Amino acid sequence: MLLLLFLVFLVTPIVELWVIVQVASSTGVLNAIGLLVLVSVVGAWLVKREGLGILRRIGEETAAGRIPGREIVNGLLVLFAGALMLTPGFVTDALGLSLLFPPTRALIRGLATRRFARSVADGRTSFRYGWRVGGTHHVGGGVPGHGGAHGDDILDAESWEDDRPDGPPRLGG
């Protein structure tokens, strides 16, 4: 983790400055700045387009009663791509743009998902989650498949319809 932080905060800016200087010396300073702005604008448009498509697919999955796991990971990758696009520089823009294209994103999603699953299975990663029902806070999580204090939690929930905008919600069945 420390090595990753070292790379992100020290090496990345140095590499970005070197690449910007190389591009500026080849094309001219104004052209390099214009190219950085153009890539950022195109990247922002692509982030918006991909993000809205992912939100639509999440809605379709939940409407069909399925958990939109793949789309949630896609959304996180597009969010990360947007953060990379906000960082000035050609290298981070190239990485961000690569995450915006579905084939590349699918490859990275598969690698990340397998790595996370391996980490959970080895017990190196655990997770906790919480929810609130009727004013009572519930906590779950742990390492899946290992039981434990939180492995056997059961969620008892109620549903309601809010079809009357002028009145209180009505309990449903």
Confidence at residue 120, expressed as pLDDT on a 0 to 100 scale: 79
pLDDT tens string for the chain (173 positions)? 788 888 888 888 999 999 999 999 999 999 999 999 999 899 999 999 999 999 999 999 888 888 888 899 999 999 999 999 988 899 999 999 999 999 999 999 999 888 888 887 887 777 665 555 566 655 555 544 444 444 444 555 555 555 555 655 555 54
Task: Tell me the C-alpha distance between 115 and 113, whole Å.
Answer: 5
Task: Provide the Cα torsion 58, 60, 64, 67; round to 10°.
Answer: -10
Tell me the CA distances in angstroms from 114 to 47, 83, 88, 117, one per residue in order. Answer: 25, 23, 31, 5
Q: HSE of 115 in the Cβ direction (CA atoms, 13 Å)?
A: 6
Task: Tell me the C-alpha distance between 51 and 82, whole Å.
Answer: 10
Confidence at residue 65, expressed as pLDDT on a 0 to 100 scale: 85
Mean pLDDT estimate for the chain: 80
Confidence at residue 134, expressed as pLDDT on a 0 to 100 scale: 60
Angle at which helix 29-63 crosses helix 12-27, to 10 degrees, equals 130
Question: In degrees rounded to 5, what are phi and psi of residue 131?
Answer: -150, 160
Confidence at residue 168, expressed as pLDDT on a 0 to 100 scale: 55
Task: Provide CB contacts within 8 A for 82, sequence distance 6+.
Answer: 43, 44, 47, 51, 96
Longest dimension (CA), the chain: 69
Q: What is the pLDDT of residues 15-46, one digit of tens each?
A: 999 999 999 999 999 999 999 999 989 999 99
pTM for the structure as a whole: 0.68
